Structure 1
Amino acid sequence: MSEQYVLETRNLVKEFKGFVAVDDVNLQIRQGDIHALIGPNGAGKTTVFNLLTKFLPPSRGQILYKGEDITALKSAAIARKGIVRSFQISAVFPHMTALENIRVALQTFENTSYSFWKSGNSLHKLNQRCMELLDEVGLAGFANTTTVELAYGRKRALELATTLAMEPEILLLDEPTQGMGSEDVDRVVELVRKAAKGRTVLMVEHNLSVVSKLCDRITVLAQGAVLTEGDYATVSADPAVREVYMGSDGSGERGVAAEDNQTVEAAQ
């Protein structure tokens, strides 16, 4: 029964003028898991994220959250239910400080948007929570640093903090380690592990070393359809995965980890 899954899709399809980008996808995301969605470029991973968060409407199929059909809901309503996502490209305000970025997210979540007749000091009550979130991602010492001055890995950590400000029950992370060096990757792995406590995480990730360290369950997409699913040991040993995702020579993890992670979904 769907009650055992916090998020589920049933026969999910997305077509673009005759091109099938997502083909009859059935996902079952268990409460508390870190679940990875992997596959070669153009497999439909980010398109699935866009369908789950209603940045795109599905052509057919259903999306269920805690057993409730949410297929017809708009993206804002999806976020209010606690399904919150990040993006491949860092989505922070470059000329605001780290603290101000978090405060904007909190204003949105708590419906305390700035009004021209209010003093800016009225927003200071949010600062304590801002500092807690910055501390959670290791940025407490950068609260007053303008975001454009932060190193790339710290910008991604700030983006994670703004996402956590929305108090998600399900956190959707799209390529959280994209374009990072090994030191930043290790830092983000620990941040994701910490952020996953008490919530469910669904992530698109190319780096199989990250997937092997973090994920309880993995779904492999190929040409928009589910190829296989299981834990890392099961998926990495599957001959079909080696052929489609890693290459028929089985060189797999080294080749994927060495990618530059500049992913462009063919369906978008």
Structure 2
Amino acid sequence: MSQEFVLETRGLTKEFRGFTAVDSVDLQVTEGHIHALIGPNGAGKTTVFNLLTKYLPVTRGDILYRGKSIVSMKSNEIARLGLVRSFQISAVFPHMTVLENVRVALQRPMGNSFHFWKHEKVLNQLNDRAMELLESVGLGEYADNVTVELPYGRKRALELATTLAMEPTVMLLDEPTQGMGHEDVDRVVELIRKAAKGRTVLMVEHNLSVVSKLCDKITVLARGAVLAEGDYATVSANPKVREAYMGSEHAEVQGAH
């Protein structure tokens, strides 16, 4: 039985004044999988994310969601389909409480996103669901804290909760463990694993030990093109991948076994 690709690109290309940042990328993301997009700095990973979420227009190629082209859609239309980019779309409001942040995210699908003037009783109807989401990412006890007071790792957990509030079918996670210490990284890995149940995740990630623990499939980009693809064992043993990750990142490929 052929596996269904929930998200697919065909010949995806982005050029900036003669420079090809993304070069004919064919990406196939299987429903229910955690799929990583990795590669050295400048490989084109973030540009691919920007094309998928229509932050940038595509030069050539196609993007398909459940087999239908979405290349001409706007970013808000793509988000409504269920493709939600975390840690960008769901940036938190620092001077609101943790609970209020999730409540605002819950209003988005209702079309009430910015009705901050709504009566408190109306907003309180969302509190139970907001608390459920906070409990799911280990933030229940922080519900009344002002967000700016949270340590960095817990802010990232809150961003994950606000993303989940938008009921995504495909979560696009842009370097979810960037800048974290080991303890926070381990916590976020577990949160992503939980959040991925019943969903599809496509993530850009530099930390290869995170990729090795989480991902079903890995696509390696180099100079804007696909260099290698497969599970972690296959990709990490590929001599071209090792060469692309020369220096400290090369050591990380070897060290993440």
Equivalent in the alignment of 2:155: 155
Indicate the larger mover: 197-206 or 90-99.
90-99
Distance 1:102 1:159, change over 3 A: same
How far off its partner does 1:17 sit? 1.0
Equivalent in the alignment of 2:210: 210
Equivalent in the alignment of 2:191: 191
How far off its partner does 1:254 sit? 6.4
TM-score scaled to structure 1, two decimals?
0.90
Once the two structures are superposed, what CA deviation does each residue of 1:190-249 show, in whole Å capped at 9, x if it has no partner? 000000000000000000100000000000000000001000000000000000124499
Aligned runs of 1:51-90 on 2, under 5 Å?
Answer: 51-87=51-87
- Between the aligned partners of 1:249 and 1:115, the Cα distance in structure 2 is 46
Q: How many residues end up aligned between the 2 structures?
A: 257
Distance 1:117 1:33, change over 3 A: closer
In the alignment, is the contact (CA less than 8 A) between 1:193 and 1:214 conserved in 2? yes
Distance 1:108 1:89, change over 3 A: closer
In the alignment, is the contact (CA less than 8 A) between 1:23 and 1:225 conserved in 2? yes
Indicate the larger mover: 203-212 or 113-122.
113-122
Once the two structures are superposed, what CA deviation does each residue of 1:140-179 show, in whole Å capped at 9, x if it has no partner? 0000000000010000000000000000000000000000
Equivalent in the alignment of 1:228: 228
In the alignment, is the contact (CA less than 8 A) between 2:96 and 2:146 conserved in 1? yes
- Between the aligned partners of 2:91 and 2:254, the Cα distance in structure 1 is 29
TM-score scaled to structure 2, two decimals?
0.94
- Between the aligned partners of 2:248 and 2:12, the Cα distance in structure 1 is 29
In the alignment, is the contact (CA less than 8 A) between 1:242 and 1:252 conserved in 2? no
How far off its partner does 1:111 sit? 1.7
How far off its partner does 1:252 sit? 3.5
- SS of the residue corresponding to residue 133 of structure 2 reads helix
Letter in 2 for 1:4: E
Equivalent in the alignment of 2:44: 44
Identity across aligned pairs (percent)?
A: 72
How far off its partner does 1:89 sit? 10
Q: Which runs of 5+ in 1 are unaligned?
A: 257-268
How far off its partner does 1:118 sit? 3.9
Once the two structures are superposed, what CA deviation does each residue of 1:23-61 show, in whole Å capped at 9, x if it has no partner? 000000001000000000110001100100111110000
Equivalent in the alignment of 1:31: 31
- Between the aligned partners of 1:208 and 1:49, the Cα distance in structure 2 is 19
Letter in 1 for 2:169: E
Letter in 1 for 2:245: Y
Structure 1 ranges of 4+ moved more than 6 A? none
Equivalent in the alignment of 2:20: 20
Once the two structures are superposed, what CA deviation does each residue of 1:3-31 show, in whole Å capped at 9, x if it has no partner? 72000000000011111110000000001
Letter in 2 for 1:128: D
Equivalent in the alignment of 1:219: 219
Aligned runs of 1:241-252 on 2, under 5 Å?
Answer: 241-247=241-247, 251-252=251-252
- SS of the residue corresponding to residue 27 of structure 1 reads strand
Equivalent in the alignment of 1:121: 121
How far off its partner does 1:253 sit? 3.0
Distance 1:37 1:228, change over 3 A: same
Q: Which runs of 5+ in 2 are unaligned?
A: none
How far off its partner does 1:117 sit? 6.7
How far off its partner does 1:120 sit? 2.5
Do structure 1's residue 98 and structure 2's residue 68 form an aligned pair? no
